[in-house]
Amino acid sequence: SQQGEEDPQALSIQEGENATMNCSYKTSINNLQWYRQNSGRGLVHLILIRSNEREKHSGRLRVTLDTSKKSSSLLITASRAADTASYFCATSIQGAQKLVFGQGTRLTINP
C-alpha cells in the first residue's frame, strides 16, 4: 500500500499563480523526493530533501519538510503552462533501497 497521501488530488490554477501540493507519510524517513510526470511518461526528479533539512529551494520550486507532522509541501511559484503534469512525493527509508510513492497531484495550468 502507498505510504504517502497527497493533497489535493487535482489542482487547476491560472498561469502565473503559485501552486502548492502537500504530502503526508506514515513512517520515519531518510529523505523525501518530489517527481514530475507528464502524460504517463517517465518520472523526472525535481528535488530531494533530507530528514534533517526543513526547507530547500531549486529555481521556482520550494520544498518544506516537517518530520514531526510527517508531511511535506511543494510550492511552484509563477506557474507556467509547461508545469502541467502530475507531481508525486516519494519517501526513502533507511536501508530499504526503494521509494514509496504518494498517489500524486494532477496539476493543470490554464493559460
Partner 1 sequence: KAGVTQTPRYLIKTRGQQVTLSCSPISGHRSVSWYQQTPGQGLQFLFEYFSETQRNKGNFPGRFSGRQFSNSRSEMNVSTLELGDSALYLCASSVAGIGYTFGSGTRLTVV
Report the C-alpha dihedral over residues 60, 65, 34, 110, rounded to 10 degrees.
-50
Q: Which three cell numbers stand for residue 61?
A: 520550486
- Asked if residue 40 binds partner 1 (CB under 8 A), the reply is yes
Query: CB-wise, 25 or 88, nearer to partner 1?
Result: 88
21, 72, 88, 91: residue in contact with partner 1 (rule CB under 8 A): 88
Q: Are strands 10-14 and 105-110 parallel, antiparallel or unpaired?
A: parallel
Contact 94, 30 (CB under 8 A): yes
Min separation Cβ 104 and partner 1, Å = 7
Peptide bond into 8 cis (omega under 30): yes
- Asked if residue 42 binds partner 1 (CB under 8 A), the reply is yes
- Asked if residue 58 binds partner 1 (CB under 8 A), the reply is no
Contact 1, 27 (CB under 8 A): no
Contact 96, 43 (CB under 8 A): no
Query: CB-wise, 2 or 27, nearer to partner 1?
Result: 2
Min separation Cβ 64 and partner 1, Å = 19
Contacts with partner 1 by CB under 8 A: the residue count is 23
Residues making contact with partner 1 (CB under 8 A): 2, 31, 33, 35, 40-45, 48, 88, 90, 92, 96-104
